[in-house]
Amino acid sequence: MRRARLLLWSAFLGTGGATALLAWWAAQRLIAADPGAARLLGLAGLGGVLLTAFLAFLLDRRFLLPPQVLARDLELRLENRGRGPTLPPDSLLAPLLPALSRLFARLAEVERHLEGARAEATRALERERQRLAAILRDLAEGLICCGADGRIQLYNDAAREILGAPPGLGLGRPYHLVLDRLALDHHRRLLRDAAREGEVPPVSQPFLCSTAEGDRVLRCRLSLLQGEEEAGGFVLVFEDASRRIAGTETERFLEEMDRAWRGPLASLRAASEILAEAPREGSEPATFLLVVEEETERLERILADLSERARQFVIAQWPLSDLALADLVVLLRERLAEREVPLELVDRTGEIWCSGDSFLLGQCLLGFLEALARDFGVRRAELGAAAAERAVELELAFAGATPDRDWFRRWRDGPLFGAPGGFTPREILLRHGAQPWLVPGEGGGRLHLDLPPATGLHPVVRRRALPPRPEFYDFDLPEVDLEGRFDQPLSRLVAVAFDLETTGLDPARDEIVQIGAVRIVGGRLLRGESFEQLVDPGRPVPPSSTRFHGLTDAMLEGAPPPAIALARFKTFLGDAILIAHNAAFDVAFLRRKKELAGVRFDNPVLDTLLLSALLDPDTEDHSLDAAAARHGITIRARHSALGDAMATAELFLALVPRLERRGIDSLGAALAACRREARQRQRLMDAAGSGHD
């Protein structure tokens, strides 16, 4: 606006000035010949300047200045939350004042509404924060949440108690002040690598970690935060396992017992073999020798079985999971490079998996390789493996001087860098059920370990991806009033959207082959709370139906019969409102089987087809595909029960705001609207049938 005013004044003053100059030039030419005319020309030039200035002032005052004044007044009023702008009564913009005053009144009303909503949201967040704080406070397990930068964002009372109230524990403090960085970073990297390989969030299996000071051993579970803003952050849940894990008396007793019987039994076996080769005199010594041989073999089997059971008992005390030995080699190479150990490690493990703690086992082998390189100048080693019946035989072969037994004993029983609780290599390997021994060879040697075989428990387990927004808690659930539930707002219903796949279209003769359902609570679609069940119809599925939903007799083999499947569905449903598209078809199948299943499906039913027809009467196609497309809903897994149930739930939530604008804002009003629409459509069908006849 200022620029427009400047241009206006410049144009008019420029025109007036040019006119005055022209008149002055002409007057100078005429002043000698006709002084009177020259004087008139001078007065005309001066009058032109005054006239253009007056016109500029008038236009500026009437047309350009009022919008600028109005804009400045509006800004002041908005800042001070005034009632509305003011202008002179003769202003050309004066007719705008009533509309602007109403706009300001509406704005003030909206601000009051927003202020109230903001205050209520603040109170709700505070209530939720207090509830979550109470839950975290009462958890027996310690919990620490860290951001991508590794700084602590949240911890509970149990974490402080389990960690021994260390001075480094506090909001905004780095986690490595209270927890062992090596172990935690190892498992964080394991999870990040798994997350990059797939699209679903990984979940870590338990592992061991020590405190930063090494005085406590923790049994931990680590999960990465999946949100975009939290990428790189993690949640760690842990408990104190020092007493249960640090004590090795039981394991040492079992180890000593195992060593104790092996020597005498080997001597007994050797003696029986010598006696068997000696000349026999008479049948009685031969019979006695046979008894000794049989009893020796039986004792060997018993003790071998007891030894294996003791080994499994020891293994069960630690959190072990499946580990690809090739990944262990990669880990060892990285750690050797980090610690600047000049040793080349060759992978001969193939695709063999074992069971173990990847971090602790890696630290143990790393310590052995580092000691070899330091004490004997070993520069090359090979890690090989072979799968046996009850174990994975791991061999670490190296070239160079062969360590003696005393050196190996010192390494085996000495402290190990980075091991939680100060565990020695012997204790770590014993927890893996491994008896390490060193086999000397020409120009080197081999470290031999028998590790547990893979069990199927992987360190990273993938699960079905959940929606970005957590759906598994709600502290503001609507209260269910079975007496007055028909007055419940549609936006606060507890409902279940469902769909059935069947062998045909006749509820009197056909059977259910699949049930899919999903819950809606308080206007939220809980994708994580779904129900999907195949059903054995007790008869072959017609090919025409298979072409429609893709279910075959082989796929339904072993599925529960309708009675059991419907009883399970009723348990999932409870007292919730049923929602279906073309509900009459699906409900007819449910109610036909109620006696067989021993349950009643008398829940109120809303039909999204009828609601769609009510809101869009000029549209002919109200199929699920068409209605979903009109509301921008993508149907995934069409003609599967759960896929159609999800689409039905999304469609219902899209229809709710439109129904509310029509005054249909409660369950009772929606049910009445469905009944009216159903009767109207029935009359139209009857009329069409009569006209056709």
CA-based end-to-end distance of the chain: 74
Q: Which two tokens stand for residue 574?
A: 């409870």
Q: What is the DSSP letter of 558?
A: T
Please report, to the nearest 10 degrees, the dihedral formed by the alpha carbons of residues 567, 571, 574, 578 taken in order: -60
Q: Which two tokens stand for residue 433?
A: 């059920």
Q: Which two tokens stand for residue 147?
A: 């951001």
Q: What is the DSSP letter of 86?
A: -
Q: Which two tokens stand for residue 676?
A: 């009216």
Q: Is 633 strand, coil or helix?
A: coil
Work out the angle at residue 181's Cα, subtended by the Cα atoms of residues 179 and 185, and round it to the nearest 5 degrees: 120
Q: Is 333 strand, coil or helix?
A: helix
In this structure, the chain runs to a length of 693
Query: How far, in Å, CA of 405 to CA of 58, rounded?
Result: 111
Instruction: Give me the residues paired with residue 607 across strands.
Output: 580
Query: How far, in Å, CA of 383 to CA of 328, rounded?
Result: 10
Query: How far, in Å, CA of 619 to CA of 613, rounded?
Result: 7
Tell which phi-psi region holds residue 164, choosing left (phi > 0), alpha (psi between -120 and 50) or beta: left
Helices (H) and strands (E) in the chain, counts: 22, 19
Name the residues annotated as catalytic: 639
Query: How far, in Å, CA of 67 to CA of 69, rounded?
Result: 5
CB neighbour burial string for 277-308, b if at least 16 within 10 angstroms, e if fewer: eeeeeeeeeeeeeeebbeebeeebeeeeeebe
Query: How far, in Å, CA of 141 to CA of 347, rounded?
Result: 40
Query: How far, in Å, CA of 541 to CA of 534, rounded?
Result: 13
CB 521 within 8 A of CB 477: yes
Strands (DSSP E) contained in 225-343 are 234-240, 321-324
User: Long-range contacts made by residues 107-114, C-beta under 8 angstroms, separation at least 24?
Assistant: 108/81, 108/83, 111/81
Query: How far, in Å, CA of 693 to CA of 690, rounded?
Result: 5
* Helix H or strand E encompassing 215: none
Query: How far, in Å, CA of 199 to CA of 190, rounded?
Result: 15
Instruction: Give me the residues paired with residue 217 across strands.
Output: 210
Q: Which two tokens stand for residue 227?
A: 């949100």
